[in-house]
Amino acid sequence: MLHEGTVPCTACHYCVSHCPQELDIPTLLNLYNEHVYTGGGFIAPMALGALPADKRPEACIQCRSCEDVCPQQIKISEVLEDFAARLG
Protein backbone atom coordinates (compact mmCIF):
# COMPACT_ATOMS: atom_id res chain seq x y z
CA MET A 1 0.00 0.00 0.00
CA LEU A 2 1.35 3.38 -0.99
CA HIS A 3 1.42 6.34 1.33
CA GLU A 4 -0.35 9.37 -0.10
CA GLY A 5 2.02 11.37 -2.29
CA THR A 6 4.51 8.57 -2.90
CA VAL A 7 5.16 7.00 -6.30
CA PRO A 8 4.76 3.29 -7.19
CA CYS A 9 8.29 2.63 -8.48
CA THR A 10 9.14 -1.08 -8.55
CA ALA A 11 12.84 -0.43 -9.27
CA CYS A 12 12.68 -2.31 -12.58
CA HIS A 13 15.46 -0.02 -13.91
CA TYR A 14 13.95 0.24 -17.43
CA CYS A 15 14.21 4.01 -17.12
CA VAL A 16 17.91 4.10 -16.29
CA SER A 17 19.21 3.09 -19.71
CA HIS A 18 17.04 5.78 -21.31
CA CYS A 19 18.30 8.65 -19.15
CA PRO A 20 20.83 10.84 -21.00
CA GLN A 21 21.98 12.17 -17.60
CA GLU A 22 22.58 8.59 -16.38
CA LEU A 23 20.59 9.23 -13.21
CA ASP A 24 19.85 6.32 -10.88
CA ILE A 25 16.14 7.04 -11.11
CA PRO A 26 14.89 4.13 -8.94
CA THR A 27 17.17 5.23 -6.10
CA LEU A 28 16.06 8.84 -6.47
CA LEU A 29 12.40 7.80 -6.45
CA ASN A 30 12.99 5.63 -3.39
CA LEU A 31 14.55 8.62 -1.61
CA TYR A 32 11.64 10.78 -2.77
CA ASN A 33 9.17 8.30 -1.27
CA GLU A 34 11.11 8.23 1.99
CA HIS A 35 11.16 12.02 2.10
CA VAL A 36 7.42 12.30 1.43
CA TYR A 37 6.52 9.47 3.83
CA THR A 38 8.49 10.95 6.72
CA GLY A 39 7.39 14.51 6.01
CA GLY A 40 10.94 15.64 5.34
CA GLY A 41 13.64 14.54 7.68
CA PHE A 42 17.33 14.10 7.19
CA ILE A 43 17.76 10.73 5.41
CA ALA A 44 17.07 11.84 1.82
CA PRO A 45 19.06 15.10 2.06
CA MET A 46 21.96 13.23 3.66
CA ALA A 47 21.92 10.49 1.01
CA LEU A 48 21.66 13.01 -1.82
CA GLY A 49 24.50 15.03 -0.31
CA ALA A 50 26.74 12.03 -0.88
CA LEU A 51 25.94 12.05 -4.62
CA PRO A 52 27.73 14.22 -7.16
CA ALA A 53 25.65 17.26 -8.15
CA ASP A 54 25.12 15.85 -11.65
CA LYS A 55 23.36 12.76 -10.20
CA ARG A 56 20.85 14.54 -7.97
CA PRO A 57 17.16 15.22 -8.81
CA GLU A 58 17.90 18.73 -10.09
CA ALA A 59 20.14 17.21 -12.80
CA CYS A 60 17.04 15.93 -14.62
CA ILE A 61 16.73 17.77 -17.94
CA GLN A 62 12.99 17.00 -18.30
CA CYS A 63 13.47 15.08 -21.56
CA ARG A 64 10.93 12.42 -20.47
CA SER A 65 12.80 9.58 -22.21
CA CYS A 66 12.50 7.59 -19.00
CA GLU A 67 8.74 8.06 -18.88
CA ASP A 68 8.27 6.42 -22.28
CA VAL A 69 9.48 3.09 -20.88
CA CYS A 70 8.11 3.22 -17.32
CA PRO A 71 5.68 0.30 -16.79
CA GLN A 72 4.12 2.20 -13.87
CA GLN A 73 3.62 5.28 -16.06
CA ILE A 74 5.25 7.46 -13.41
CA LYS A 75 5.74 11.07 -14.47
CA ILE A 76 9.37 10.85 -13.43
CA SER A 77 10.37 14.30 -14.65
CA GLU A 78 7.62 15.90 -12.55
CA VAL A 79 8.53 13.84 -9.48
CA LEU A 80 12.22 14.77 -9.75
CA GLU A 81 11.31 18.43 -10.23
CA ASP A 82 9.09 18.28 -7.13
CA PHE A 83 11.84 16.52 -5.18
CA ALA A 84 14.38 19.20 -6.08
CA ALA A 85 11.89 21.89 -5.03
CA ARG A 86 11.17 20.16 -1.71
CA LEU A 87 14.88 20.02 -0.95
CA GLY A 88 15.30 23.69 -1.73
Provide the residue type at 73 as one letter.
Q
Whole-number Å distance between alpha carbons of 78 and 25: 12
Whole-number Å distance between alpha carbons of 72 and 83: 18
Helix, coil or strand: residue 74:
coil
What b/e string do you get for 67-88 counting C-beta neighbours within 10 Å, with b at 16 or more?
Answer: beebeeebebbebbebbbeebe
What's the whole-model pTM score? Answer: 0.94
Tens digit of each residue's pLDDT (9 = 90 or more) over 61-78 = 999 999 999 999 999 999
Tens digit of each residue's pLDDT (9 = 90 or more) over 34-55 = 999 999 989 999 999 999 999 9
HSE (CB half, 13 Å, CA atoms) of 58? 11
